Amino acid sequence: MAAKKPDTQALSDELLRLRKKHADVFAREKEIKADLIGAALAEGDSLKIVVERLGTVKVSPPKDARCTGTAPQIVVEAFLALPEREKGKLTERGIVKIAEQWTGKYYGSVTAELFP
């Protein structure tokens, strides 16, 4: 038995109405998060704030990309341009490994924007 298909139009309508009704709350939430990120940047580290009987807020500041070292890298176009025999030799010697290429997993997203 197939699961009942959700009414995406009704769900979208409800989501946008919630956003509109509580727009000031969402705007304040955004400001608070920005201030917390700023505090974490000033501290130079992540923060964990426990509010008794209410919950925990964890804040991780953004980080710049950083080099963790170097590694050999094949120039794919040059390898593919080699004659089959040379490609085979490099693969047999273990210098080149033919590996599957995968995309990163995408967890999906939902965005809601209100009209002004």
Identify whether 47 is part of a domain.
yes
In-domain check, residue 99? no
**Domain-located, residue 66:** no
Look at the chain and report how many structural domains it folds into.
1
Per-residue confidence (pLDDT) for residue 75, from 0 to 100: 95
In a domain, 76, yes or no: yes
pLDDT of residue 102: 94
Torsion over CA of 82, 88, 90 and 92, rounded to 10 degrees?
180
> What does pLDDT average to in each consecutive run of 10 residues of the chain (116 residues)?
87 95 95 93 92 92 93 95 97 95 91 82
| 29 domain residue, yes or no | yes
What is the residue range of 20's domain?
11-61+72-92
Give the C-alpha separation, 18 to 23, whole Å.
Answer: 8
pTM: 0.64
Whole-angstrom distance, CA of residue 116 vs CA of residue 27 = 14
